[in-house]
Amino acid sequence: AVVSTQSTGGMLRQKIKEESLRTYMFTYSACYDSISPMVLSKMFDLTNKQIHALISKMILNDELKASWDNITDLLILHRAESSKLQSLAKQTADKLTYVMDNTEKMLGQGTTFNSRGNAATALTWPNSVFGAGNGSQIMGIVGALGVPDH
């Protein structure tokens, strides 16, 4: 029974080290252009062979955008650029957050709304929020939210 407890403890320690490496790579890989497996080996008390195996598995599973440079024995990390759709979705989310914040401020100030859901007073939307020429596209969304256009 003592032997199985010790081996279970050893296996558990090994898994914790491996998952710690994986978590570290998920969290901090964007901070590196490259990193030595020897550095990771010292940080996580794993052998170079274990580091190579774990990182290679992450690369093959598309969990990490990286490649091995066999000449310098470095892990080269690749930057993942946002797609056009991702950047547009982020811009839209930021603009909708702005609209929601202003609506909440209006409600907090006691702005009255008529039966159609429009505010009795007009809101002005600066070009810095919607960008030149984009206001009409966003205003359709804003109108659907019941916020008046100007």
- Cα separation, 39 vs 45, in Å, equals 10
Mean pLDDT in residue range 102-125: 65
pLDDT for the residue 136: 46
Element (H, E) at 74: strand 74-77
| Per-residue confidence band for 76, with pLDDT thresholds at 50, 70 and 90 | very high
Q: What is the pTM of this model?
A: 0.52
13 vs 2, 16, 20, 44, 140, CA distance in Å? 17, 5, 10, 11, 56
60-72 pLDDT per residue, tens: 998 999 999 999 9
Rg (CA), the chain: 26
How far the first Cα of the chain sits from its last, in Å, is 77
Number of neighbouring beta carbons within 10 Å of residue 44: 18
Count CA within 13 A, CB hemisphere, residue 60. Answer: 6
